[in-house]
Amino acid sequence: MRILRITGYTALLVLFLVLASGRFRSIESYAADPALLLLGTCLLLLAAALAQLTHKKIVQVKGRIVLYWICAGLLAGVQLTGSSQSIYYSVYLLFLMWVSLPSINGSATELGLVIGFTEAFSLLNASIWTGGEPLISRLIPLLLPALKALLVPFLFGLASDWLAEREFFSEDSAPSKEKPGGSSYPLLQIIHKNSGADSTCLFIRSDDGFFRLAEHVADDKTVISRFLLPEKQRLARIAANSRETVIIRADSNEERSELLPHRFPGAGDGGSLWIVLCPLGGEAALEGFLLEDFSGNKPSDSVISDLENLSEILQGTCSSEASPAGGEFSWMLKLTAACNDRNLDKAVHGMAGILSELIPDSTISIADVDNRHDRTRVWVSRGPLARWRRGKTFESSAGIAGWILKNRVPCRRSRIRSGGNSVNAFSPDSGIHDKAGSCMGVPVIREEEVIALIMAEHEDDNTFMQYHEELLLAVAGMFSMREELAGTRQKLRSISGRDTLTGLPRVTLLDRHLHQMAKEVQTYGWYVGLIVADIDGFGAINQMLGYSEADRLLKDVAERFGSCFSKDVFIARTGPDSFAACIPKAGKAVVEAMGQKAADALSYRYSGKMPDLIVPVSASIGCVYTHVNRKVLLLTGEAEKAVSDARKAGPGTCVVRKIDLSGWKKNR
């Protein structure tokens, strides 16, 4: 094998020297030769076939010799068909872009330099030795073209490598263990570190149906950041069809590529591959799943148990009555139960108590950070120094706590009483800190803001290790996730899906329905229409009838408006005095008829519970329809513009518009 390898390198070197000599370079007399064009095309096709075999891992050769053979084939093909004037010159650029991909493991800068030097020397050798002029006279006109031939592929290769490194290996796609301050990074990092998995990934379902790779921790850089997994992909289907943890074994390359679509090609090759998939969502719809992959041996039961515990934390459904499991992470169940308590004060006290058990003889303090007034108030404190901490308020810039707030990263200090400039946990005043010899703390971050601090103090020096800091980071991650979930639930409650007065869906559900309509329009190509009705002069009617009677009027208008349409039409309340109807499979005739029907239904005299007071009611109607999927999400805004035009035309007017690629067209 060594003789064959030496022979291959020697032949490759000779081929590059021949290419640099200019013998293959076409001149004007050969440029139109169909035989040379056919030969050059065949060489390019052979190089492309070899590149395809290399990309599919069918040809596996150590080192980069295959890339150089492909490069030599491209050089020969391009030179035979005209070099820099060849119609195939752009193949160089495509080749350098392909080489820059992480799965190829090549250097576009290096090969761009090889191509540039070969082209430059071939240009000089093909032209400098012809003619009767002096050598300098022949060389000077060739310097600029040779420099161009050298720099174009070299600079393009350099740019390709830079773009690939920026896209695939940027700070955003770095492993999560480099970002210990995030909300749930510490949990994923600890689970990954103790499981021995190749990668630990969290997929979350997005509004468009895809599963987005939200977070991941990996031992290498083979995981594709921000990867989107289609819901019809095998992993997504397995998670959707099973509500319990699934263990999958893959032995072939085809199965690995299908079960690890979020990793670069070639990752996980060799031996058996085990995948542990834990769905998130319980009995409800699947919201996402956790995934760990292992090369070699099957993962242990404790590893699977830890992953299930993490899934329960993410779901917020872990039972507080669960009994602690054996092993290194039995404390996680206790922390999960404490974190899931609905009462925030009880949850904080529970987490502080558990940390006091895990770090004995230490004082654990959880402080609330008031960023508006730059104050830190110790909420809960457990341990020997608790009576000097509990309920006290300190400046947010003082002590080790102030340093953590400023830099937003964990801190661990030993021998804090030593030296002339001793430091303290919360305050520059050393009177209440004389007993503390070591201290550490971590921030609790929510929405890019530090909302709390978890501090640990001990009377001895050099007490706290990296493992203790990881414990605090795990609790900070749980605390942050709890607050994130509480904030999310509050937002969901504040934007309730249905109107309390009429019972109709509101704008949020209408937008979601329009997203679904956009997908159907893209798939089937049919029209979709939106009709918006706005009550004319509702402000004056509200003052005339009073708020209670005006509310009954709105309910009556909602019933009349809804009765104009069939059951497959989506009805919503879009404003204080406006209603909308989304009509599927509705062209011009249907939208016009339905709009006029709504205008007639909402033109009447209302009396309600006040028979002596009769109020004339009318509505301005705006109707829009389209068959362009990109315009469906704009129908609400376009319908409101049509309503504005209808109102200007007079009460009870109906305006119909068609929305196409170029904009809207007014029909009536």
Task: Please state, rounded to an integer, the average pLDDT across all residues of the chain.
Answer: 79
Starting at the earlier edge strand, list the strands of the sheet with 411-413.
393-395, 375-382, 363-370, 449-458, 438-446, 411-413
Positive or negative, the CA dihedral 396, 373, 475, 216 is negative
Rounded-to-10 torsion of CA 379, 380, 383, 387: 50
CB 263 within 8 A of CB 223: yes
CATH at 297: 3.30.450.40
Last residue of a domain, one of 168, 195, 227: 168
CA angle at 502 for the pair 496 and 504, rounded to the nearest 5°: 55
Residues 276 and 217 both lie in one domain = yes
Judgement on whether residues 9 and 38 belong to the same structural domain of the protein: yes
Domain boundary residue among 467, 493, 519? 493
- pLDDT tens for each residue of 523-546: 888 899 999 999 999 888 888 888
Residue 91 within a domain: yes
Q: Cβ(640)–Cβ(622) under 8 Å? A: yes
Question: CATH number, domain at 559?
Answer: 3.30.70.270
> For 184-188, what is the mean pLDDT?
61
Q: Is residue 452 part of a domain?
A: yes
Q: Report the pLDDT value the prediction gives residue 600, as an integer from 0 to 100.
A: 92
Q: Are residues 376 and 446 in the same domain?
A: yes
Q: How many domains does the chain fold into?
A: 4
Residue 433 above 70 pLDDT? Answer: no
Q: Are residues 402 and 459 in the same domain?
A: yes
Residue 368, pLDDT above cutoff 80 = yes
Please report the pLDDT score of residue 315 as a whole number. Answer: 66
590 and 550 in a single domain? The answer is yes
State whether 200 and 305 are in the same domain. yes
Q: pLDDT digit string (tens) for 550-572? A: 888 999 999 999 999 998 899 99
Quick one: 195 and 231 in the same domain? yes
412 lies in some domain: yes
Q: Residue 325 domain-assigned?
A: no
pLDDT 10s digits, 464-508: 877 788 888 888 888 887 777 766 666 665 455 778 888 888 888
106-125 average pLDDT score: 84
Residue 434 confidence class, pLDDT cut points 50, 70, 90: low
Q: Is residue 324 part of a domain?
A: no
The pLDDT confidence band at residue 172, using thresholds 50, 70 and 90, is very low
Domain range enclosing 71: 2-168
Tell me: do 531 and 587 sit in the same domain: yes
Task: Mark which of 121, 145, 168 sits at the end of a domain.
Answer: 168
Residues 437 and 457 in one domain: yes
**228: Cβ–Cβ under 8 A, 6 or more apart, which residues?**
206, 210, 211, 212, 213
Cα distances (Å, whole numbers) of residue 410 to 143, 186, 221:
58, 12, 25
The pLDDT tens digits of the residues spanning 229-262 come to 888 888 888 888 877 888 988 888 888 888 888 8
Q: What is the pTM of this model?
A: 0.33
Q: Is residue 322 part of a domain?
A: no
| Judgement on whether residues 204 and 250 belong to the same structural domain of the protein | yes
In a domain, 500, yes or no: no
348: helix, coil or strand?
helix
Tell me: do 233 and 281 sit in the same domain.
yes
Residue 501 falls within a domain, yes or no? no
Answer yes or no: do 193 and 151 share one domain.
Answer: no
Amino acid code (one letter) for 401 = A
Please tell me the predicted confidence (pLDDT) of residue 189: 77
Q: What is the mean pLDDT of residues 616-634?
A: 91
